[in-house]
Structure 1
Amino acid sequence: MAYAEYFASRRDEQLNELNEWLKIPSISALSEHKKDILTAAEWLADTLNKAGLEHIEIHPTDGHPVVYADYLHAPGKPTLLLYGHYDVQPVDPLNLWTTPPFEPNIRDGKLYARGATDDKGQVFMHIKAVEAILSQEGALPVNLKVCIEGEEEIGSVHLTSFLEKHKDMLAADAVLVSDTSLLERGRPAICTGLRGLCSLEVDVTTASTDLHSGTYGGAVPNALHALVSLLASLHDDKGRVAVDGFYEGVPDLSPLMREEFAKQGLDEDKIREGLELSALYGEEGYSFVERVGARPTLELNGVYGGFQGEGTKTVIPKAAHAKITCRLVGDQNPQHVLDAIEAHLKSHIQPGAKVEVRQMEKAFALDIDPSNPFLQLAADAYGKVYGTRALFTKDGGSIPIMESFSRILKAPIVLMGFGLDDENLHAPDEHFNLENFDKGLLTIVEFLKSAGTV
Structure 2
Amino acid sequence: MTLTDIFEKIDSNHKRYVQELVELLSIPSVSTYSRHKGDVQRAGEWVVNMCRRLGMEARLYPTAGHPVVYASHCPHPDRPTLLIYGHYDVQPPEPVDEWLTPPFQPTVRDGFVYARGASDDKGQFLTYLKAIEVVMAVRGEVPINVKVLVEGEEEIGSPHLGDFLRRHKDLLKADAIAISDGSQFAPDVPAITYGLRGLAYFQLDVTGPRVDLHSGSFGGLVMNPIQALSAILCSLKEGGDRVAVPGFYDDVADMAPWEREEMESLPLDLANLKEYLGVEVLCGEEGYSPMERKTARPTLDINGVWGGFAGEGAKTVIPSKAGAKVSMRLVPNQDPDKIAGLFRAHVAKVCPPGVQLKVTHLHSAQPVLVSRDLPQVQAAARAIHTGFGKDPVFIREGGSIPIVNLFQEELGLDAILLLGWGRPDDGAHSPNERFSLEDFRRGIRSAVALLYELAGEGA
Q: Same fold (TM over 0.5)?
A: yes
Q: 1:424 maps to what in 2?
A: 427
Alignment of 1:162-311 (within 5 A): 162-208=164-210, 210=212, 213=215, 217-218=219-220, 220-311=222-313
Q: 2:79 maps to what in 1?
A: 77
Q: 2:98 maps to what in 1?
A: 96
**Deviation at residue 428 of structure 1 after TM alignment:** 2.6
Q: Matched residues in 2 for 1:35 and 1:278: separation?
A: 44
Q: 1:332 maps to what in 2?
A: 334
In the superposition, relative to structure 1, how do residues 9 and 297 fare at CA in structure 2: closer, same or farther (>3 Å)? Answer: same
SS of aligned partner of 1:303: strand
SS of aligned partner of 1:253: coil
In the superposition, relative to structure 1, how do residues 213 and 291 fare at CA in structure 2: closer, same or farther (>3 Å)? Answer: same
Aligned mate of 2:417, from 411, 414, 417: 414
Alignment check: 8 A CA contact 2:382 2:453 kept: no
Alignment of 1:357-372 (within 5 A): 357-372=359-374
SS of aligned partner of 1:118: helix
Q: 1:28 maps to what in 2?
A: 31
Aligned mate of 2:153, from 146, 151, 154: 151
The one-letter amino acid of 1:428's match is P
SS of aligned partner of 1:2: helix
Q: Matched residues in 2 for 1:440 and 1:328: separation?
A: 30
The one-letter amino acid of 2:323's match is H
SS of aligned partner of 2:58: strand
TM-score of the two chains, using structure 2 as the length reference: 0.92
- How many residues align? The count is 453
**Deviation at residue 452 of structure 1 after TM alignment:** 0.9
Q: Matched residues in 2 for 1:208 and 1:406: separation?
A: 47
Q: Matched residues in 2 for 1:225 and 1:117: separation?
A: 41
Q: Per-residue displacement from partner, 1:152-186 (whole Å, max 9, x unpaired)? A: 11211111110011011101111111111111111
The one-letter amino acid of 2:442's match is K
Q: 2:18 maps to what in 1?
A: 15
SS of aligned partner of 1:169: coil
Q: 1:43 maps to what in 2?
A: 46
Alignment check: 8 A CA contact 2:386 2:445 kept: no
The one-letter amino acid of 1:14's match is Y
In the superposition, relative to structure 1, how do residues 304 and 448 fare at CA in structure 2: closer, same or farther (>3 Å)? Answer: same
Q: Matched residues in 2 for 1:19 and 1:310: separation?
A: 41
Q: 1:388 maps to what in 2?
A: 390
Q: Per-residue displacement from partner, 1:34-56 (whole Å, max 9, x unpaired)? A: 22222222221221122122x32
Q: Matched residues in 2 for 1:385 and 1:44: separation?
A: 24
Using the TM superposition, name which of 223-232 and 288-297 deviates more: 223-232
Which ranges in structure 2 are unaligned for 5 or more consecutive residues? none
**Deviation at residue 214 of structure 1 after TM alignment:** 5.2
Q: Matched residues in 2 for 1:232 and 1:349: separation?
A: 11
**Deviation at residue 207 of structure 1 after TM alignment:** 4.4
Alignment check: 8 A CA contact 1:80 1:144 kept: yes
In the superposition, relative to structure 1, how do residues 107 and 276 fare at CA in structure 2: closer, same or farther (>3 Å)? Answer: closer
Q: Matched residues in 1 for 2:43 and 2:215: separation?
A: 57
**Deviation at residue 209 of structure 1 after TM alignment:** 5.0
Q: 2:138 maps to what in 1?
A: 136
Q: Matched residues in 1 for 2:97 and 2:169: separation?
A: 44
Q: Per-residue displacement from partner, 1:223-270 (whole Å, max 9, x unpaired)? A: 333322222111111211111222243211110111221122313343
Alignment check: 8 A CA contact 1:188 1:382 kept: yes
Q: Per-residue displacement from partner, 1:282-301 (whole Å, max 9, x unpaired)? A: 11111111112111111112
Alignment check: 8 A CA contact 2:99 2:431 kept: yes
In the superposition, relative to structure 1, how do residues 93 and 78 fare at CA in structure 2: closer, same or farther (>3 Å)? Answer: same
Q: Matched residues in 1 for 2:361 and 2:177: separation?
A: 31
In the superposition, relative to structure 1, how do residues 346 and 6 fare at CA in structure 2: closer, same or farther (>3 Å)? Answer: same
Using the TM superposition, name which of 248-257 and 163-172 deviates more: 248-257
Q: Matched residues in 2 for 1:294 and 1:408: separation?
A: 25
TM-score of the two chains, using structure 1 as the length reference: 0.93
